[in-house]
Structure 1
Amino acid sequence: MRRFGLIGRPLGHSASAAYFTDKFMSEGITDCEYSLYELPSIEALPALLERLPELCGLNVTIPYKREVMAFLDEVSPEAQAIGAVNCIRRAANGSLTGYNTDIIGLRAALDELLGGEQPSAALILGTGGASQAVQYALAERDIPFALVSRDVSKGNYTYDNLPCEVVEESRLIVNASPVGTYPRVDDAPRIPYGYVTPEHYLLDLVYNPPLTQFLAYGQQRGAHVLNGRTMFVGQAEGAWRIWNA
């Protein structure tokens, strides 16, 4: 049995196990299994790998997308440039190679949301591993962006000092934070939604629930909105191709 899984903390919101289980069933793949491995810290990864020698590949989610890089034997050039890993391939000899398939899903999500539009400025909410992939994707498209963080040292703005005119002028707003993820479905990033217009595009990397409070506020203002499902499917299928290359 070939085993795959997801590491992170917490994992109660994740649809990865259900997605891959359905994929295996629908495609007649009978020799594979996908499980969730919630690790108390990234230092628990070596013990997991030792306990499960049949583990061939892992997805990585918050809060370990950056921390996991120190445990890998090799990192793909793109993941190195992004500064975050969300996919690990374990070779037959036990060596670990890290990749970033978030970028695959993000390209698809931005294509779907924006169509042929090219916003003149973007705002990224959050500065973690997912945010780094968003920054890379926007740089590819030559879309200037600013970062909003809870930590004054990590972003251009904090949620407490974000100017209203920046929200108004940033026609693409991406929630790259976990705020609003199940079970805290009533939460939303603290930005002045009154300055969102029908010319705005809101992308939430959260996919559970399908309509987050962040996107609901955008809809109320007439904005174009998209949740994280497209990105989720894109990164999952990208990981599957890597594991089976």
Structure 2
Amino acid sequence: MRTFGLLGRNIDYSFSRKYFSEKFQKENIDAEYRNFDVDSIEKFPYVLRNNIISGLNVTIPYKEEIIPFLDHLDPHSREIQAVNTVKFEKDGSLCGYNTDYWGFLESLKPFLKPHHKKAIILGTGGASKAIAYALKLLEIDYQFVSRKKAAHIFSYKELNKEIFENHTLVINCTPLGTFPNTDNYPDVPVEYFSKNHLVFDLVYNPSETRLMQLAAEKGATTLNGLRMLELQAEKAWEIWNS
């Protein structure tokens, strides 16, 4: 039996373990999927020494911190500087990949309209890097939004009607609104959402976040992160077995 798993911290909620466990059962694959929940990335070598692993996913907060422990990065993860998939090569080396950008790209494309030329990305964490990379591939201009203003970064307080009218694609890369804190949402002026907006919330639990609800009330099209997660998981499986 092969072992696959997820490296992260406080990951009992893990989408990946449920998804792959169901996949293995449904497709009669002789494998198991485990959570490797560690409180420090420094314990990653211990995980490797004590387990025979065929493939690994990486989640918060180690998508960037794991890079020094890897032997190679594929071109996409090298540019993003974040890894969510590790392949164990036949020669014993570890190669990092990023399938988050792929999952986002493929789940977003069917909903894009010609007027979606500019985007704002809420949050500047590891996930936002993959989103920005995907938007770059799609030739969509983007601007980050954070609590503190910086070069090429809006602060939440700066967001106004003009910015919203010019940026009709809004992507939430923060965890705000995740169960059980479902009343929370990023501090954006929701009154400026319109039917021209496409709002992509990476949160998938609940299936409709408060941000999505408020945007939909103004006529916006809304998407959650579930399809993105499914696509990135299948891409990881493809990488592990290639």
Given the two structures, how large is their TM-score scaled by the length of structure 1? 0.93
- Deviation track 1:144-175 (CA, whole Å, cap 9, x = no partner) reads 11100134447611223333421232100001
**1:224 Cα offset (Å):** 0.3
Q: 1:233: which partner in 2?
A: 230
- Deviation track 1:176-228 (CA, whole Å, cap 9, x = no partner) reads 12222222222111100000001100001111111111111111111001110
Secondary structure, aligned partner of 2:158: coil
**1:136 Cα offset (Å):** 0.9
Which is further off, 61-70 or 177-186? 177-186
Q: 2:33: which partner in 1?
A: 34
- Structure 2 unaligned runs (5+)? none
- Distance in 2 separating the partners of 1:178 and 1:155: 22
Amino-acid identity (%): 43
The answer on whether the counterparts of 1:113 and 1:203 sit within 8 Å (CA) in structure 2 is: no
**1:105 Cα offset (Å):** 0.5
- Distance in 2 separating the partners of 1:184 and 1:41: 26
Which residues of 2 match residues 128-167 of structure 1 at below 5 A? 128-153=125-150, 156-167=153-164
Which is further off, 223-232 or 147-156? 147-156
Q: 1:51: which partner in 2?
A: 50
The answer on whether the counterparts of 1:127 and 1:155 sit within 8 Å (CA) in structure 2 is: no
- Distance in 2 separating the partners of 1:217 and 1:4: 38
The answer on whether the counterparts of 2:204 and 2:224 sit within 8 Å (CA) in structure 1 is: yes
Change (3 A) 1:214 1:88: same
- Distance in 2 separating the partners of 1:12 and 1:197: 37
- Structure 1 unaligned runs (5+)? none
Q: Are 2:242 and 1:216 aligned?
A: no
Q: 1:6: which partner in 2?
A: 6
Q: RMSD across aligned C-alpha pairs, in angstroms?
A: 1.6
- Distance in 2 separating the partners of 1:153 and 1:9: 29
Which residues of 2 match residues 62-101 of structure 1 at below 5 A? 62-101=60-99
Task: Give 4+ residue runs of structure 1 displaced > 4 Å after superposition.
Answer: none
The answer on whether the counterparts of 1:8 and 1:62 sit within 8 Å (CA) in structure 2 is: yes
- Deviation track 1:9-54 (CA, whole Å, cap 9, x = no partner) reads 2323321111101101111112x110122221211211111111x1
Q: Are 2:24 and 1:21 aligned?
A: no
2:122 to 99, 110, 125: 125
Which is further off, 173-182 or 20-29? 173-182
The answer on whether the counterparts of 2:102 and 2:134 sit within 8 Å (CA) in structure 1 is: no
- Distance in 2 separating the partners of 1:6 and 1:182: 20
Q: 1:182: which partner in 2?
A: 179
The answer on whether the counterparts of 2:3 and 2:55 sit within 8 Å (CA) in structure 1 is: yes
Report the AA paired with residue 143 of structure 1: I
Given the two structures, how large is their TM-score scaled by the length of structure 2? 0.94
Q: 2:188: which partner in 1?
A: 191
